[in-house]
A and B are shown apart, each in its own frame.
Chain A
Amino acid sequence: MRFKDHHIISMTSFSKDMIDHILETAEKMEPIARGKQKSDLLSGKVLAVLFFEPSTRTRMSFETAMYRLGGNVLNLGSIDASSIAKGETLADTIRVVDSYADAIVLRHPKEGAARLASEFSAIPILNAGDGAGHHPTQTLLDLYTIKRESQLEGLKIALVGDLKYGRTVHSLCYALSLYGAQITMISPRELRMPEEIINDLENRGAKVTELDSIEEAINDVDVLYMTRIQKERFPDPAEFQKVANRLKITPDLLKNVRPELRIMHPLPRVNEIHPEVDKTVHACYFKQAFYGVPVRMALVALVLGAMK
């Protein structure tokens, strides 16, 4: 399978075989990601990290992925001090940076930014989130987490929270549709999954159900995928509070669930998962954050042609 020089823009362009190959490559990377093995696979390679929006996990896990493989990282630094503050277009920034590095990781507040970057770049672009659009590397690490901690084939999953603006759940749904997942969507009315995405998913073979509460789904799913609901989405703070309290996981809610149930969250969480839940066998969000490292190691190594 040939990944060299591929852009990683959106999950919609990935076949199931391609995803499986990335996940298998990530598995090989795990000992290196944990620091148990040393590697100089990407020695002499430079990864440019362009983040036009704040991020902790995604940026740091790309950076550590590159360092663990013996490569180097070139950071855009503060936007205020860069030419972007002077009004440079993204297209120009990309054309300049592609002569400084071997691949570019891009996060940008506008939808379609990564696609645009790929049109102007001679080196691979890895989309680390474009506005409310796609976030494929998050999806791949979510899939890897599901594969390692539950199972991908025949998965029953409930997505909870902000399904309208949450880009992670959009990308994840597209990928899960390839595995024939049964997807339950639980969200407040204001934050429902956009209809065009639900139609797409059904056309791709996923079974989609919409429910109102976690209780209705919790005994019937393998994975509960929680997302954060942002206060700013609600004009009325009282309404936000009502919704936030309803879509919350507490130790009580988990009393009678199957031990195999796994709870995931792309993090940062606010109060949608009670801290007591962290100690249960169900909690898997911190492992999920770690799995971002081997998955991003695999992606960078594949697009740079260091692995096949």
Chain B
Amino acid sequence: MGEEEELRVRRIENGTVIDHITAGQALNVTKILGIPDSSEGVVSVLLNSPGKCGKKDVVKIENRELKVTEVDRIALIAPNATINIIRNFNVSQKKKVHIPEFMEGVVRCINPNCISNSNEPITSRFNVTVDDDNLKLRCIYCGRVISENIAKHLL
């Protein structure tokens, strides 16, 4: 990250930096991670930051180390994101998100007549597949497939 950006969003001492988020998706990323309700520290969101491969978003969460399984949920909308765990201003772990095979409670089924869209005591669940670089979510209840505008269907 260049010096100019350092001025905009300062380095964090401890916590998690999610970098290389698809531009425009940072707020959806925080939504999936349940931020701010699930974090007490300061959360900084950087939109449209210039990166090596074009524009990207960055989310910095202070004083909270996200688990890989938690962050994998964002792979749906930001498949190229990286997770940096920061300790004492240094990157202590760096990982790419990977697309999970199964997703629970993140997205709503697009079929209005699906049982998961009723008052039953269940959460939405999807099997996730990647077909020619396209992400497909198949509802385990009704079988309906979501392959476009996944961010639009976040719970």
**A residues engaging B (CB < 8 A)?**
10, 89-91, 108-113, 115-116, 119, 130-133, 196
What's the count of A-B pairs with C-beta under 8 Å? 49
CB within 8 Å for A110 and B113 given contacts A89-B121, A116-B120? yes
13 residue pairs A–B, Cβ–Cβ below 8 Å: A10-B143, A89-B120, A90-B120, A109-B113, A110-B114, A110-B115, A111-B111, A111-B113, A111-B144, A112-B114, A115-B140, A119-B122, A131-B113
Closest 3 CB pairs of A and B: A112-B141, A111-B142, A112-B115
Interface positions, chain B 130-155, Cβ under 8 Å from A, are 139-145
Most buried by A among B115, B120, B141, B144: B115
CB <8 Å contact, A90 and B113:
no
Q: How far is the CB of A204 from chain B (nearest CB, A)?
A: 14
B22 within 8 A of A: no
Q: For A10, A109, A115, A130, which residue has the most chain B Cβ atoms within 10 angstroms? A: A115
Inter-subunit contact A133/B143 (CB<8 Å): yes
Distance (whole angstroms) from the CB of A119 to the closest CB of chain B = 7
The verdict on A89 contacting B113 (CB below 8 Å), with A112-B141, A112-B142, A115-B141 known, is no
Proximity bits, B94-129, A CB within 8 Å = 1, else 0: 000000000000000001011110111110000000
Q: A115-B141, A133-B143, A196-B145 are in contact. Are A110 and B118 (CB under 8 A)?
A: yes
Q: Which of A10, A115, A132, A196 contacts B115 (CB 8 A)?
A: A115
Cα-based distance from A259 to B41 in the complex (angstroms): 78
Which of B119, B121, B139, B145 is in CB contact (< 8 Å) with A112? B139
